Amino acid sequence: MPEPTQPPPPAKPGSAPAAAPAIELPAAGPDEVALLVDERPVVVKKGTSVLQAAERLGIAVPHYCYHPGLTVAGNCRMCFVEIEKMPKLQIGCATQAMQGMVVRTANPRVKAARESIMEFLLINHPLDCPICDQAGECRLQQYANAYGRGESRFVEEKIHHDKGVPIGPRVVFDGERCIKCTRCIRFCDEVSKTHELGLFERGGHAIIGTFPGKSLDNDYSGNTVDICPVGALTWKPFRFQARVWFLRNVPSVCTGCARGCNVELAVYDHRIHRITPRRNAAVNDYWMCDLGRQTYEKLYDRPRLERPAVRAAGAAAPAVLPSPEAVDRAAALLRETVTRHGAASVAAIVSARLTLEDLFMARQALRQAGITRVVVPPHESGEDDALLLRRDKTPNARGAELVGFGRPDAAATAKLAGDIAAGHVHGLVVVGEDPVGDGVLKADRLATIEALVVIDAWQTETAKAAHVALPATGPYEADGVVVNFQGHAQRLRRGVPAPALAEPSWRWLRELGRRFGLAGSWTTASAVFDQAAAELKPLASLSWRSLGGDGHRLVSTEAGPVSGAPAGTQALEP
């Protein structure tokens, strides 16, 4: 084999450039370089790759193995560009932009090289697009269409590999579709740092696999599926569920823990079929955990509360009532309880899983009803890890704090449970929590409660025991804002409609509040948020609109002054 060529000797100082570029280069700062890409000048930081410099100009250089969140492998050879004074084509991902470089990304020579790479990648590819889950979002398809030759010159038997391999509990591997870009290997080495994957065998028989005794079973395995540019790695729950071109990807925020990874909800036929990460450098970068990907399942895998249910004293089964009447009944029960036992005998349990709007409206309504004892139960499991996962499994604990309910508090929750068990509590409003199902309260200890009003998305044990149960939207069924553990306020967007008569909790709370004289006619989450922003100091000067797609980092999430107090000083990071 010929030895590789050595670097050329440095150019003699003072030697004249071959030909002055026709286009004048802009001035570059000390840590910048200016170059031309397809005749267009661009200034980038030193160390930027040619591929990234082209992207800065909106010039897409096709690539498979390059991923901005991983180290450069340079193996797919798709991102070839021509650079003046370099005899060979260079890969854009691994070539640093240099001062005065003249780069061409789409001339006939580059196009011919791309066509060659496409041909090589496809000769042993099974071309099973009709039944491949990646079809529609597959780079092989996109680039074959854009850069391929459109016909095959390969008449030989293709190389065969194992298909449908359960490479991990949630990921399935197809060895024949794989193009050996090694993104998945690099992810497990560099991001999850779990090192399950390697490249085995050689040449055309090279194949991705797990090391002996290992399985692709880490908390982040789903990211390998996302970054797989072809259909080699597929997400088990999504396999054969939907053609991706029917999916509508709704930008939203994961509700699985206090991180609040930015996600896309893949919706088809009013149902979420998949959740994938959406890049947010301030929160989750390109990634999300496997648990978060499955947070939509509980919308479908347990009985939903679909209609207001009112249980009359002594009745075996609850009766379904129209919504306004159900709220009337809830208000009446609470009012009677207050009258009988005093406002101090009525408490509320609200959830840090609710949106800021829900929590804000809970504050307004409960205050209006004279209910001052409010607890927020914690939901913790596991530990904070080095990447994304948080021990706190609620998406909006900081939101609860911001509204004035304080952070989730196990002691306060236990104290309330004790008071209920001791018969000191006679009225209870529960929003988005299931203290009975969670074991915080025993159903038989609810005997002394004369008004149990539950707002929830599911037929929980608590809802079953309720005098009035009001159907709420579940995660991803309503718009709202959540504040993650970093104090990053982000907009959760509704991806799917809620079943039957379910409404966002804040609407039930608004209605309940009205029964106690709450003024205000908010009809949208954005109106509620803007009201909250006007009243809560950490949100001062924020608006629903200003949160945009990437959210906003708050300086503090400590509870603001009560309504009427001055909004205070600017509390936002630029």
Partner 1 sequence: MAYEKLLLKNVGRDDSHTLDVSLAGGGYQALKKALSGMTPEAVLEEVKASGLRGRGGAGFPTGMKWSFLPKLGDKPRYLCVNADESEPGTFKDRLLIERDPHLVLEGIILSSFAIHCHTAFFYIRGEFQKGARIFEQAIAEAYAKGFLGKNILGSGYDLDVLVYRGAGAYICGEETALLESLEGKRGLPRIKPPFPAIVGLYGCPTIINNVETLANVPFIVERGAGWYNGIGRPKNTGPKLFCISGHVKKPGVYEAPLGIPFKELLNEHAGGMLHPDRPLKAAVPGGSSMKVLPAARCDVLLDFDSLAAAGTMLGSAGGMVMDSSTCMVGALLNLAEFYEHESCGQCTPCREGTGWFTKILHRLEAGHGRKEDPDLLIDVAKRVEGNTICPFGEAIAWPVQSYVAEFKSEFDDHVTKGACPFGGAAKRG
CB of 150 to partner 1, least distance (A): 16
CB of 117 to partner 1, least distance (A): 5
CB of 73 to partner 1, least distance (A): 8
CB of 169 to partner 1, least distance (A): 26
CB of 160 to partner 1, least distance (A): 12
Closer to partner 1 by Cβ: residue 88 or 239: 88
Closer to partner 1 by Cβ: residue 92 or 377: 92
Closer to partner 1 by Cβ: residue 88 or 340: 88
Closer to partner 1 by Cβ: residue 90 or 531: 90
CA dist 492 and 483 (Å) reads 10
CB of 114 to partner 1, least distance (A): 10
CA dist 162 and 142 (Å) reads 25
Closer to partner 1 by Cβ: residue 90 or 448: 90
What are the residues binding partner 1 (CB under 8 A)? 1-7, 9, 72, 74-78, 80, 88-89, 91, 94, 113, 116-117, 119-121, 123-124, 153-157, 159, 179-180, 198-199, 201-206
Closer to partner 1 by Cβ: residue 180 or 329: 180
Tell me which residue has tokens 């890969």. Answer: 91
Note the Cα 540 to chain centre separation in Å. Answer: 26
CA dist 134 and 140 (Å) reads 10
Question: Which value, to the nearest 10 degrees, does the dihedral of the CA atoms of residues 452, 456, 462, 466 take?
Answer: 30
Residue environment code for 371-385, b if the CB has 16+ CB neighbours within 10 A, otherwise e: bebbbbbbbeeeeee
CA dist 125 and 139 (Å) reads 13
CB of 440 to partner 1, least distance (A): 52
Which residue, among 136, 146, 141, has the nearest Cα to 246 in the 3D structure? 136
3-state secondary structure 119-170: HHHHHCCCCCHHHCCCCCCCHHHHHHHHHCCCCCCCCCCCCCCCCCECCCCC
CB of 82 to partner 1, least distance (A): 12
CB–CB of 529/381 below 8 Å? no
CB of 285 to partner 1, least distance (A): 24
CB of 1 to partner 1, least distance (A): 4
CA dist 334 and 439 (Å) reads 24
Two tokens, residue 82: 């021509």
Note the Cα 123 to chain centre separation in Å. Answer: 36
Closer to partner 1 by Cβ: residue 6 or 339: 6
Radius of gyration of the chain (CA): 29
Q: How many residues does the chain have?
A: 574
Closer to partner 1 by Cβ: residue 120 or 268: 120
CA dist 188 and 468 (Å) reads 49
Query: Residue 23: which residues within 8 A CB-CB, separation 6 or more?
Result: 36, 39, 40, 41
Which residue, among 491, 488, 434, 429, has the nearest Cα to 454 in the 3D structure? 429
CB–CB of 89/82 below 8 Å? yes
Closer to partner 1 by Cβ: residue 117 or 454: 117
Closer to partner 1 by Cβ: residue 154 or 300: 154
Name the strand (E) or helix (H) holding 429: strand 427-431
Closer to partner 1 by Cβ: residue 205 or 415: 205
Two tokens, residue 460: 């929980």
Q: Is 58 exposed, middle or buried (0-12, 13-18, 19+ CB in 10 A)?
A: exposed
CA dist 455 and 469 (Å) reads 6
Tell me which residue has tokens 């603001």. Answer: 560
Closer to partner 1 by Cβ: residue 78 or 536: 78
CB of 496 to partner 1, least distance (A): 41
Q: Are β-strands 309-310 and 248-253 bridged in parallel, bridged antiparallel, or unpaired?
A: unpaired
CB of 302 to partner 1, least distance (A): 47
CB of 7 to partner 1, least distance (A): 5
CB of 199 to partner 1, least distance (A): 7
Q: Is 501 exposed, middle or buried (0-12, 13-18, 19+ CB in 10 A)?
A: middle
- CA distances (Å), 496 to each of 422, 476, 492, in order? 42, 7, 12
Closer to partner 1 by Cβ: residue 4 or 130: 4
CB–CB of 438/461 below 8 Å? no
Closer to partner 1 by Cβ: residue 175 or 408: 175
